Amino acid sequence: MTSVLLWFARAFVSSLICLLLGYFGIRGIAYITTEINEFGKIREDPIATSLFVSGFVVFAGLVIYGSMVNPFFLGQNVLIGAYFNLERLLIVVMSFAVSLLFGWLFYIVFAKLRLFGIDLDNVNKSPIAVGIFMFSYEVFLGLIMYASLVLPLG
């Protein structure tokens, strides 16, 4: 029973760290997409709000599942070196940074370069469009975090 409780404690702490990174990622996309007023627009419509919250629930589900499968904490020893997997944490932090980089690149491609003839900043005209945009970003971020949690280390 102690091993099971330790496993859940490890998964809980791993999930909290990833959810905190996700919070920063979601706040960070608002700084990257300067022409889109994500949080102001989402508040204008209940459907947009529910899309945003739904995206966060999907993100949290992916993080919690990844943390349950492979938390940062692997050993049974209580010593920090054996207890906390710094490699896994580094991979998760790097994945978080990569997701922000890709978020910025996607914004550049769609909003500034208009390679597909689409102006991403047009989503700012509709709260529901902003909600869908944020939902998609949260799912994207969740998949990146999940992959970093279950990536085999060797």
Instruction: Give me 101's structure tokens.
Output: 């980089």
DSSP symbols for 62-125: HHHHHHHHS-S---SS-SHHHHS-HHHHHHHHHHHHHHHHHHHHHHIIIIII-TTS--GGGGGG
pLDDT reported for residue 76: 46
pLDDT reported for residue 78: 47
> Which position has the token pair 């799912």?
139
Cβ neighbors of 92 (< 8 A, separation 6 or more) are 17, 18, 21, 72, 145, 148, 149
Can you give the pLDDT of all 154 residues of the chain as single tens digits?
Answer: 777 787 788 788 888 988 999 999 888 888 888 888 889 899 999 999 999 999 999 999 999 998 888 766 555 454 455 456 677 778 888 888 888 888 888 888 887 787 788 877 788 899 999 999 999 999 999 998 898 888 876 5
pLDDT reported for residue 74: 54
pLDDT reported for residue 84: 61
